[in-house]
Amino acid sequence: MRLLTEIALIIGLVIAVFIIARLSRLVLKRIRAVKVTRIYDDRHWDYDNILSQYNPYYKSLDDTVRDRFLRRVLNFMEDKDFEYIDLEKEERMPLLISAAAVQLTFGLEHYLLDYFKTIYLLKENYRFGLYNMPFEGHVSEDGIYLSWSNFIREFSDYSDGQNVGLHEMAHALVYVNFTVEEGKDDTFHDKFRDFSKTARPIFERMQAGETTLLDPYAATNYQEFWAVSIETFFEKSHAFKRQLPELYDSLCVLLNQDPLTPRKVIDPELLEESISNKLIVNL
């Protein structure tokens, strides 16, 4: 009898801990939602101008979805800690980096890349671990790392297929969905297998020496093929669709968006979201 009582007590404690944790997350989401709404009301036009100046994807958005994009950016920005290494913080930095993440995930339900709590900004190329070559960015279990000089330069030249912001966010998205699954998007996760049915043969041909529109770095390994495909998908959309139509279409399905359309997102149900505080909590 005593044993049953102890077991019941343990089960009760576990349930209580779960409920408290759940309530804590909901409270934090609500607090963030209120803060995001306040920031949006105060700085909407300032941030709209910055994004229009530096992010070609945002500038090309239909007016009907710009609001949704900006609110997601603010929510992402408030969810992360930004650490600046040998670099003075500028107001545009967290905004533009958050916009790169939202650009990639604009058609997905879960877009916060929840596992990653910290994004590190470094001034220029940097050394990492035992590697001899300089890094523009990387993703590891402790965060997302980006060199600011490369980030801003590569968004300024939005036609060369080189974009470290999108590249590293692509790595982060796969990490979240297949390594830790914290912040996993079930639809993305399930559709990735179908994407790979199209992508892997192209990757294998590139490894065998075939030249494609994709940067040769894509042949390094399948992870890099994925990230380079994302850069090309957004920066060379017309050429990508023309030269690698099956791969382009598979990315459209996987990400639920087509960069060549003004509204971007394909599934209209995701565009019917309210802009209320309740929505921001549930996003």
List the strands of the sheet with 137-140, edge to edge. Answer: 81-85, 118-122, 143-147, 137-140
d(CA 214, CA 23): 46
pLDDT tens across the length of the chain (283 residues): 666 666 666 776 767 655 664 555 555 566 667 777 898 888 999 999 999 999 999 999 998 899 999 999 999 999 999 999 999 999 999 999 999 999 999 999 999 999 999 999 999 999 988 888 899 999 999 999 999 999 999 999 999 999 999 999 999 999 999 999 899 999 999 999 999 999 999 999 999 999 999 999 999 999 999 999 999 999 999 999 999 999 999 999 999 999 999 999 998 675 454 333 334 333 4
SS3 label, residue 123: coil
CA-to-CA dists, residue 84 to 137, 172, 205, angstroms: 14, 19, 40
d(CA 57, CA 70): 12
Residue 131: per-residue pLDDT: 85
Tens of pLDDT along 4-29? Answer: 666 666 776 767 655 664 555 555 56
User: How many residues does the structure list for the chain?
Assistant: 283
Residue 40: per-residue pLDDT: 87
Tens of pLDDT along 123-172? Answer: 999 998 888 889 999 999 999 999 999 999 999 999 999 999 999 999 99
Residue 132: per-residue pLDDT: 85
Residue 201: per-residue pLDDT: 98
Residue 34: per-residue pLDDT: 75
Residue 130: per-residue pLDDT: 82
Residue 57's φ and ψ, nearest 5 degrees, are -60, -50
Residue 275: per-residue pLDDT: 36
Residue 37: per-residue pLDDT: 85
